[in-house]
Structure 1
Amino acid sequence: MAQLDMAIAKIRWKRRTINALLIRELMQRFGHGNIGFMWLVGEPLILTAGVMIAWSFIYGEENHGVKVIPLVLTGYSMLTVWRHMVARFTHSFRHNSGLLFHRTVRPIDILIARGVLECIGTLIAFFVAYVPLRLLEYITPIDDYLVLLTAWFLMCALTFGVALTISCLTELSDTLERFVQPIMYLLLPLTGAFYMVSWLPETARHIVLLSPMVHANEMFRGGFFGAEVPTYWDVSYLALWALATNAVGWSLVRKAQDHIEIE
């Protein structure tokens, strides 16, 4: 019983630590003004709105039978999580090494706080864009919230594992940092943000479905559109990739911690 009480106390203490880091991250990134927090939602919202307008001029109302506005809204929301989290995690350990003077703060706590912030902020931005578009009847109602939010959670888990791995590797080698952004751009076709798998020929379809990010995007759109639009995804495949990337990332944390120089 005493061990259980101790474990609960540690969990509560860890939760308070991460909450404090979340607030610190918000203040550091957006300042102390009242409008500061809104930029957490505003940044991805502006990007998504800009792309929706551009694509609407280029493709019109529909592309391959799928409405352009919800296609962009779903694709770029997922893409924003992917890009922002990887970018925010790179060199997070060394840039926040001063926090490690606090006994309760561990390097992984910093990344958890940043990951939670990105996931929640972008999801809020998605719904902030969705609600007025729905009220104006530019888009149809979400078909299945459970599928949509499960896809979001698994995408965030997958991205956290990949970003954690990259963060640890860039701590171990400065040279690897040079390859992060080029690789991120090269992987854009494998995110599934710009197309539906059903649009592709059979051979290309099998290739892109090797990417777990495509499964996440297709599942997210499956929850949004329902049976109205054909989607291809396997939740177990996506979950397995999320577990694998996190297993690799967490196994590298201790090695990366040994390379941190506390200033």
Structure 2
Amino acid sequence: MPADDRSEPLLPLSGLRIQARIVWALLLREVITRFGRRNIGFLWLFVEPALFVIVITAIWTATHDLHRSQIPIAAFTLTGYTSMLMWRNTPSRCIGALSSNQALLYHRRVTMLDIYLARILLEFAGVTTSFMVLGLVMWLGGWLEPPENVLQVIGGWGLLAWFGMALALTLGPLSERYPSVQKLWSPVAILLFILSGTSFLLDTFPPTVRYWLLWLPMTSGLEYLREGFFGSHFKAHYDLGYMCSATMLLMLFGLSQVRRVALNEVRIA
């Protein structure tokens, strides 16, 4: 952990460097705490989501003839379930994070936001690596065609990561104020999984149903991502303006809650 210098004021750039080092140290600590040093250790960070996607892909591939669809099954499951893991797992890791790491806040330079950012970046790195490695392996194995628009895939992935981050920064501090958030998130996450488009395409529904499903920001991000992957096989439906606006509002609300809980911690201390 970086040295705690209380005597000299920090310039903005040097302060940013220190905070980056703090987040990196917290990230490494989280890896060791969660995965330990035995067996494959931190590789579980990538293997765990990869195994989940492989099992789902195998099931969908085995039933492909029953569906009689022209949609590439490997690309469909890879894009859907990895993106779902990102916006579902990231908030789960931030819920209750302060309670289990409260002792770290005795270090002057460590803040609540650092703790949340370390966990968010760790989840993002794990799921993104699984997404890239699985995509490469499936392509080399002949199960997957290259993305039709790589830049659009990167953009869609970034939008989904941003939404997952905003959701995590909202639910993390709210769980400290309202313990019931931790219990409610699991059933809510299941409901969002069902409605988010992970296992279906919006084009298969009538316009009225699509209208309501697009109120979920992650649905637009996933449709945009899939259009970049195999857009010639289906018609995508998304509203990126709404997704960005909703994610920005959620992000601002989440940061306000982080600040509110942090101020309460200072008063208690």
TM norm structure 2 = 0.90
- Are 1:254 and 2:248 an aligned pair? no
Give the one of 33, 56, 59 matched to 1:54.
59
Partner of 1:103: 108
Q: Which residue of 2 aligns with 1:27?
A: 32
1:88 is matched with which residue? 93
Shift of 1:212: 0.8
Instruction: Tell me if the contact between 1:48 and 1:76 (Cα under 8 Å) persists in the aligned partners.
Output: yes
Shift of 1:258: 4.4
CA shift for structure 1 position 245: 0.8
Q: Which residue of 2 aligns with 1:172?
A: 177
Task: Name the SS of the counterpart of 1:66 in structure 2.
Answer: coil
Aligned-residue offset at 1:33 = 4.5
Q: Distance in 1 between matches of 2:199 and 2:47?
A: 22
Matched residue, 2:117: 112
State the SS of the aligned residue for 2:11. helix
Q: CA deviation at 1:234?
A: 2.5
Task: After the TM superposition, list the runs of 4 or more consecutive aligned residues in structure 1 that deviate by more than 4 angstroms.
Answer: 258-263
Query: Residues 215-243 of structure 1, C-alpha deviation per residue, up to 9 Å, x if partnerless?
Result: 01101111111333321123222211221
CA distance in 1, matches of 2:35, 2:123: 13
Name the count of aligned residue pairs.
259
Residue 78 of structure 2 is aligned to residue 73 of structure 1: yes
Kindly state the Cα deviation for residue 99 of structure 1 after the two structures are TM-superposed.
Answer: 0.8
Kept after mapping to 1: 8 A contact 2:49/2:130: yes
In structure 1, the partner of 2:3 is none
- 1:224-263 matches, within 5 Å, as 224-260=229-265
Q: Which runs of no fewer than 5 residues in structure 1 stay unpaired?
A: none
> Which is worse superposed, 212-221 or 61-70?
61-70
Pair 1:195–1:217, CA change in 2 (3 A): same
For the aligned residue pairs, the C-alpha RMSD in angstroms reads: 2.0
Give SS of 1:8's match. Answer: helix
Which shifted more, 88-97 or 174-183? 174-183
Deviates most, 68-77 or 177-186:
177-186
Q: Distance in 1 between matches of 2:150 and 2:121?
A: 20
The residue aligned with 1:145 is 150
Q: Is the 8 A contact 1:81 1:122 kept in 2?
A: yes
Cα displacement (A) at 1:17: 0.7
Which of 186, 203, 209 is 2:191 aligned to?
186
Q: Is the 8 Å Cα contact of residues 134 and 140 (structure 1) preserved in structure 2?
A: yes
CA contact (8 A) 1:60 1:68 kept: no
Contact 2:170-2:254 at 8 Å conserved across structures = yes
Shift of residue 185, structure 1, vs aligned partner? 1.4
One-letter code aligned to 1:152: W
Equivalent position of 1:199 in the other structure? 204
Query: Structure 1 CA distance, aligned partners of 2:68 and 2:222?
Result: 17
Structure 2 match to 1:216: 221
Q: State whether residues 64 and 199 of structure 1, in contact with CA within 8 Å, keep that contact through their aligned partners in structure 2.
A: no
| Structure 1 Cα separation of the partners of residues 192 and 144 of structure 2 | 29
1:184 to partner: Cα distance: 1.3
Aligned residues of 2:78 and 2:131 also touching (Cα < 8 A): yes
